[in-house]
Chains A and B, each alone.
Chain A
Amino acid sequence: MRTRGRRLLRTVFSEQAAAIALIVPSLVAVAVFVYGFIGWSALVSVSEWDTVRPDYTYVGLRNFRDLFDNFRFQIDIRNTVVFTVFFVGACLVIGFVVASILDRHIMGEGLFRSIYLFPMAVSFIVTGVVWRWLLAPRAGVNILFDKAGADALENGWYTNPDVVYVHASSPLGEALQAVGLGFLADANFGIPLAMFSVVIAATWQMSGFVMVMYLAGLRAIPEEIKEAARVDGASELQIQRHISLPLLRPVTLSAMIILGHQSLKIFDLVVSMTRRGPGFATDVPALYMFETTFQGNRFSHGAAISIVMLLAVSVLVVPYLFWSLRKEARL
């Protein structure tokens, strides 16, 4: 009987071993290609590798300091913030509004859903190529405006170099200076108008996704709870505000994280649509990194940019992954 026990133990062990063996190739691949490479990039980022030949001389955080002092990188940060805020905001609002409507027994709901979602199937490159022509100053939408007599709406779109910011001499600027926040009254903290073109194209591509998520979330709210609210005396609008919206918070959070991490690393769309734009108005860190590394051969600087991008994404994603995996474990 002891041999049977021992055989059982051996089987259990060998099964565990087999399980681990099956998954090891993937683990090794990810360990190397993700974590190993990240480490390697980190190494490069603190090195002096600025030419075609690798040079791993350690220089501390000098590259990072240079980066944050760099005019172009500062603009990149501003552009990323502006893009993220407007892109995520627009997607959330449009996604929620459309999903709310679709939730109400609409004829042809399937068709509408398919139409809103199809942009997700195409590449950002295709999106960029198309919207570049749609928002070109002498073509596309401007022509429509002209024909419709809405000349005032015509503008330079992504060729517009203007940046909207608080001027130091304006009343708001003086107020900011009074509270010690005078540095905010600067073009570095403004909104580059050209960026809106990119926001429009990106929203076109991704808002269908948010809509689908909200639709699923709305459908998950038990009808009985809404009925209880109705009997309690709430109007449909009050139900939206006090019941549906709060219950959709997890969806909103997920959407914000997913869209947010995409907007931090946006690259394809900018490459095909506007490139860096007038006065770097649509430049983004990913583009800067690519040009610096593969066209300028300044590998250490490119690596530094990529590490900064990685840290920014981690701040967003790691807490979220943690929270979401722990929630699952608790269920």
Chain B
Amino acid sequence: MANVRYEHVTKRFGEVVAVNDLSLEIEDKEFLVLVGPSGCGKSTVIRLLAGLEPLTAGDIYIGDHLVNDLPARDRDIAMVFQSYALYPHMSVYDNMAFGLKMRGTPKDSIHRRVTEAAEILGIQDLLKRKPAQLSGGQRQRVALGRAIVREPLVFLFDEPLSNLDAKLRVQTRAEISKLHKRLGTTFIYVTHDQIEAMTMATRIAVIKDGILYQVGTPEELYFQPDNVFVAGFIGSPSMNFLPGTLAGAPDAMALQVGAFEVSVPPERAAALAPHLGAAITVGIRPEDIHDPDFLPPHVRAYPIRAHVDVSEMMGNEKFLHLLAGAQPLLARVDPRTKARPGQDMDLTLDVDRIHIFDASTEAALARIAIPDELREPARSDGR
């Protein structure tokens, strides 16, 4: 069983606390993505698991074995580094065979495993070359191959796509997802790119300043962020935040955000009642602001009016940079919109997708529901 457990793990580098009391359980065969801004400690988290850094406090378990004092080479973990870290003086074949050779694996077994992995990754023709003769994408595959031949308990990835150009990144993302399904091993993947997290993960863990902010499926994080940070981090372009107050009477509450006022729908009133009068932050994603002429069906609309500042044509949609009073807003609307810069226009907000956060604690109040179609079926197959 290759599940991984972090229990109250802390890592200090001198005065700096890189990882702060992290507790996280990763299930066997999961694809968990650790995501967060640069310098948030996510790389440190997997390096602790790999055994490349010693723990300051806490325990790490791999498959129910305590591994705190186990050296890296005995942990049966493979890692793909951001810069690939290929051995420059060895051929591709020797790079992939190195780990097996160090453990005394017989030669024919090595040969079989290396050629198999090379075929999966499409690098069979490169086996005799040296890393300096390969392109960035090819080197990345060799790094993957080196990890695959080890048939480890857990795969670790430290921002493996950041050195690739955009097109290659999209391609490789899909290949890594396919690889995960094919190998059925636990993948723990670190990145600062939330798109990678959303597209590849079975679950995402959001980290900032060494603290775990939220763990959940992509849908959970997208529709039900626990706090302002997660809400703003997941989703691109990021969520609009409007400061305001929870005003009105207990049976007729409204979100007052300066330029407009939205009534609180009844199904959320109960959760919000205790916070009546409090300062709040209202969040609405750009994709949940629509041009009323092109309103998707089943949207509970709330009309607002705003001034169009800039309009960006993206091809399949338009980004409108708006000003509602003094409040800037970004909206993603149908490209056929008649909005023009310099004009005022009518827009609608999707009331069911309005997020409400306490202004001081930044915690979410009264979450919205995940649409039924996107709800995860109960996991039975271990995907």
Contact = CB atoms under 8 A, between A and B. Distances in A.
* A and B, direct touch (CB closer than 8 Å): yes
B160 to A, nearest CB: 13
Interface string B45-57: 0000011100000
- Nearest 4 Cβ contacts at the A-B interface: A232-B99, A228-B85, A224-B85, A230-B72
22 contacts: A222-B83, A225-B86, A225-B87, A227-B50, A227-B81, A227-B85, A228-B146, A229-B102, A230-B51, A230-B52, A230-B73, A231-B52, A231-B72, A232-B98, A232-B99, A233-B150, A234-B99, A234-B102, A243-B87, A247-B88, A247-B89, A249-B89
A202 to B, nearest CB: 31
B103 interface: yes
B145 to A, nearest CB: 12
A222 B102 CA distance: 20
A232 B89 contact: no
A16 interface: no
- Most B-side CB within 10 Å, residue of A227, A230, A232: A232
A46 B46 CA distance: 73
B78 interface: yes
- Most B-side CB within 10 Å, residue of A222, A228, A242: A228
Contacts of B99: 232-234
A238 B71 CA distance: 14
Nearest to A246: B89
Given A224-B81, A235-B73, A229 B89 contact: no
B73 A234 contact: yes
Contacts of B52: 227, 230-231
Contacts of B83: 222, 224
A238 B72 CA distance: 14
Q: What band does the interface of chain A fall in when counting residues whose beta carbon is under 8 Å from B?
A: 10 to 19
Interface string A210-254: 000000000000101101111111110010001100110100000
B116 to A, nearest CB: 18
Contacts of A249: 89
Interface of B: 50-52, 71-73, 77-79, 81, 83, 85-89, 98-99, 102-103, 146, 150
A225 B98 CA distance: 12
Contacts of A224: 81, 83, 85
Contacts, number: 63
Given A233-B99, A234-B102, A242-B98, A225 B85 contact: yes
Contacts of A231: 50-52, 72-73, 77-79
A138 B103 CA distance: 55
B98 A234 contact: yes
Given A230-B71, A232-B73, 17 more contacts: A225-B85, A225-B88, A227-B50, A227-B52, A228-B86, A231-B73, A231-B78, A231-B79, A232-B98, A232-B99, A232-B146, A233-B102, A233-B103, A242-B98, A243-B87, A247-B88, A247-B89
- Most B-side CB within 10 Å, residue of A242, A246, A249: A242
Contacts of B146: 228, 232
B102 A232 contact: yes
- Most B-side CB within 10 Å, residue of A222, A227, A231, A235: A231
Contacts of A234: 73, 98-99, 102
Contacts of B72: 227, 230-231
Contacts of B86: 225, 228
A238 B99 CA distance: 11
A177 B249 CA distance: 114
